[in-house]
Amino acid sequence: MKAPISIENAEHYTWGDACDGWHLVRHENLSIIEELMPPGTAEQRHFHERAWQFFYVLEGELMMELDGQLHVIAARQGLEIAPRQAHQARNGSKANVRFLVISQPPSHDDRTPA
């Protein structure tokens, strides 16, 4: 029997400038990650060849540039990103933003700078 998963017992990694990620589900065909971006942080603009992604904000406000259009995603809102859509997540607020990234298939080895 599997135990419940949380950021307390999930595999942790850091990325970008002081951002955190936790692998909640890490399978060959599905990835679910909880991420935390401190104020003023951003990821590099990129796209994925194969991965469909869904970003769902748990707390705070995530700014997502998608194909040149800026979206502000509030808590309890999400945004779907199709393969080959260039995007960049950033936290332009003064508070942390915490969100889920659901990718099918996983996106870590499927990333191209845009």
85 secondary structure, DSSP code: -
Instruction: Give 43-79 pLDDT, tens digit per residue.
Output: 999 999 999 999 999 999 999 999 999 999 999 999 9
Mean model confidence pLDDT for the chain: 95
With respect to residue 68, please indicate whether it lies within any of the assigned structural domains.
yes
With respect to residue 13, please indicate whether it lies within any of the assigned structural domains.
no
Mean pLDDT score, 85-107: 96
1 pLDDT higher than 80: no
With respect to residue 94, please indicate whether it lies within any of the assigned structural domains.
yes
60 secondary structure, DSSP code: S
With respect to residue 6, please indicate whether it lies within any of the assigned structural domains.
no
Q: Per the structure block, which two tokens stand in for 18?
A: 């002081």
* 2 — pLDDT class (breaks 50, 70, 90): confident
The Cα–Cα gap between 114 and 98 comes to: 24
Query: Cβ neighbours of residue 110 under 8 Å, at least 6 residues apart?
Result: 48, 49, 50, 51
With respect to residue 76, please indicate whether it lies within any of the assigned structural domains.
yes
Query: What count of other Cβ atoms lies within 10 Å of the Cβ of residue 3?
Result: 6
Q: Please state whether beta strands 19-26 and 11-15 pair in parallel, antiparallel, or not at all (unpaired).
A: antiparallel
- Give me the residue label for tokens 């997502």: 64
Closest CA to 60 of 34, 86, 85, 32: 34
Contact 64, 79 (CB under 8 A): yes
Our count of domains for the chain comes to 1
With respect to residue 14, please indicate whether it lies within any of the assigned structural domains.
no
Residue span of the structural domain in which 54 resides: 20-106
Percent of the chain with pLDDT over 70: 99
With respect to residue 5, please indicate whether it lies within any of the assigned structural domains.
no
Task: Name residue 63's beta-bridge partners.
Answer: 72, 90
108 pLDDT higher than 90: no
With respect to residue 10, please indicate whether it lies within any of the assigned structural domains.
no
For the entire predicted model, the pTM comes to 0.94
Please give the pLDDT value at position 16.
86
Could you tell me the CATH number of the domain that includes residue 62? 2.60.120.10
